[in-house]
Structure 1
Amino acid sequence: MPGLIRAGRSSVRAHEGDEKRAARAALADVMHLGQAYLAWQGTAHHWYWLTVDKGYSLGEDADAPMAYAAGLMYSAFAFRTTGRPEQALDLLRLATDALNPFLETGADEARGLWGAIQLARASTTARHFGDPSAWVHWEDANRMVSLLPESYAHHHGYSAGHVALHRTWIAQALGDASEAIRSADAVNIESIPSRNWRASHLVHLSRALHQQRDSGALIPLIQAERHSAESIQFNMAAREVVSHLVHHGPMSVRSEAAQLAERLGIAA
């Protein structure tokens, strides 16, 4: 990561005009990647917010709608993570507005990023407000993905697979465990290229099963560990389910839940 940042900064210094703006947009993406990494580092608060600020300012200075909208989206992720979901939604609305003029005549990149932003609006509305209007944003994202090539995937997390995953996540966040489980049954997670997204999906499935007091909630967590142990080690919902199963689950699963808790460093 430090090498990528140094290379990006050198590129910005070495170019002028359109090439300089393109270099700024590329360096903004590097900062977004740094933000995603530092979000998992408990002692990196200062550096985390530095990448958030730099990613946004570089995207704005790139004078490119896609870079600007991506900067807004990643800033929204930071606000959402730190308990300011109202501000997060405001930024996501601005990002949507920035891309709206390019949906009909722009490149697929604009439509893909717009779709990713709608998924972010949907998950934020469902998870932090419990508002069923989250489905409106999900429908927008689902409609947009149908207009893109079948194999299309945007590097900021948007594809037909991502839309399908969010159907489960939104249902679970809104308390509709039955719908979440039905949606999860239709998802082939092996088709999702990101190990983190696979693990996160399995955590949401586990939470839905746990909401129904189904001791089978442990199985998706064990599967998630195989895809990305870090994704559940630092996921508060996953930790809560594991801890509950250790202390209050059926005797048939307590031992295996305790072993998982030990592997993840969760205090039993």
Structure 2
Amino acid sequence: MCKIGVVGAGVIGVGVAQKFAQYGHEVTIIDVSNRILEEARESIIKNIKFFNMFNRDKMVNKEEVISKINFTTNYSELLKAEFIIENVPEIAQVKKEVYEKLDTVASSECIYLVNTSCISITKIASYTKRKDKVIGTHFMNPVPVKRAVEVIKGYHTSTETIEKVEKLLSGIEIEVIIVNDLPGFVSNRVSHVFMNEAAYTVQDNVASPEKVDLIFKKCFEHKLGPLETADLIGLDTVVNSLDILYESYQDSKFRCCPLLRKMVDAGLLGRKSGKGFYEY
């Protein structure tokens, strides 16, 4: 089993920590305050209960999982981590500060897995002293039940790094789908156009959120509609990602819908705030 570091105890970070701990790995999860970490602990316990409700054949012992996770604000506790998975917000300067800090504590052999939805892996690798050991791993929500992950090869990512990450992820029953590095990769270059345009149809009174999503679920047989997906991801994250895509490509198709930005300004972030396009 490996020692895994997880930086960022948001929705995805919590899911990543839970997933690796369920398979017996020792996990250290870091965030800026004990309050956030306590909320993360409570979220993991709640998520395990939810997981067990729908996976009777693979019941998880929550005490065993929690015992595998060290909750801390101290980066020095990542000293022995073999892999560090970064999950901080989609803001380049924030990520830059995190990687500069990681380079002062992580072992020289440690591999960085960048959980970003849009920012170039090559750009993030430029913040470190180990460009060959930086690779994108775009985990998606809810992480504990996903069976595949979009893995992004940066310009400097080595073959050895790819092989080690493939082995690590296959060990927790996640299939690796490798793509090349351009902002947004595959998933978000496509999905964010869907979500953004869906928001425009609501803004322009073409249809209600419910009807927009029903068309995708009933006609295209998607499990979730684009606006339900946006609420799940977090509208603030969607807006940040669209801004990165627009800045990267200067293509009007990525220009953020004013309704999305207005909702974020109003604190309507989706599931995380209790209300977005829907109430939770």
TM-score, length-normalised on structure 1?
0.35
TM-score, length-normalised on structure 2?
0.34
Higher helix share: 1
> Structure with the greater relative contact order (CA < 8 A, sep ≥ 6): 1 or 2?
2
Q: Which has the larger radius of gyration?
A: 1
